Amino acid sequence: MTTSPDAEATPTRWTRATTSPDMWVDPDEDPREDGSETVGERATLLDYLRRYRLTMELKCADLDAGQLALRSVPPSTMSLLGLVRHMAEVERRWFRRELAGEDAPSLYCSKADRDGDWDGAVGDPEVVDEAWRAWRVEVAFAERLVSETADLGTVGRGRVPLRDILVHMVEEYARHCGHADLIRERIDGRVGQ
């Protein structure tokens, strides 16, 4: 680590890649690359969503609870752990409540604490484990529901077609994976796609 003029420790930039120093890992080791060819709208949307979900996991890999809960920059409450909790809420809202029509309460947010997903992201291993469990449950539900829904035009409770929900989820993950890139680099200097 180096020290900046304002005395805040700055991590040294690094990567595990050996042939592509601007990447997370070398392309042949990237778990997001599964070798499948996407043909058609449905396959393309689902592949992009799969890749972004994996990217979120990669950006959080090998960090302890304190690092995952580290806030980006004041006054923001954003952290990697907060992103995981937020995406669990987003998955739940769009797939469980909107598309499936379930009466599923929010996981972290409430009228009293609209930012509970961010505010409750504290450096406690139990909070981290619960966040990952909740996110994985919601992703599994979404994947199952989408696989059982043949028509991308199928609408849910609020009349939003599945197609639009998938596009929105890609957009949501893309935005937050960009945040995760910067937060991770600030935590330990790890760079990459």
Tell me the pLDDT tens digit for each residue of 126-177: 999 999 999 999 999 999 999 999 999 999 998 999 999 999 999 999 999 9
Q: Which residue is it, tokens 């700055």?
A: 10
Q: Per-residue pLDDT for 4 more than 50?
A: no
How far is C-alpha 175 from the chain's CA centre? 9
- Of 148, 152, 143, 75, nearest to 115 by C-alpha is 75
Cis peptide bond N-terminal to 5, omega within 30: no
Give the integer Cα–Cα distance in Å for 126 and 133. 10
Q: What is the pLDDT of residues 42-99, one digit of tens each?
A: 999 999 999 999 999 999 999 999 999 999 988 999 999 999 999 999 999 999 999 9
How far is C-alpha 118 from the chain's CA centre? 13
Q: Global pTM? A: 0.88
Cross-strand bridge partners of residue 107: none
Give the integer Cα–Cα distance in Å for 16 and 29. 10
Determine the angle formed by the axes of helices 80-91 and 162-188, rounding to 10 degrees.
170
Task: Supply the Cα-derived Rg of the chain in whole angstroms.
Answer: 18
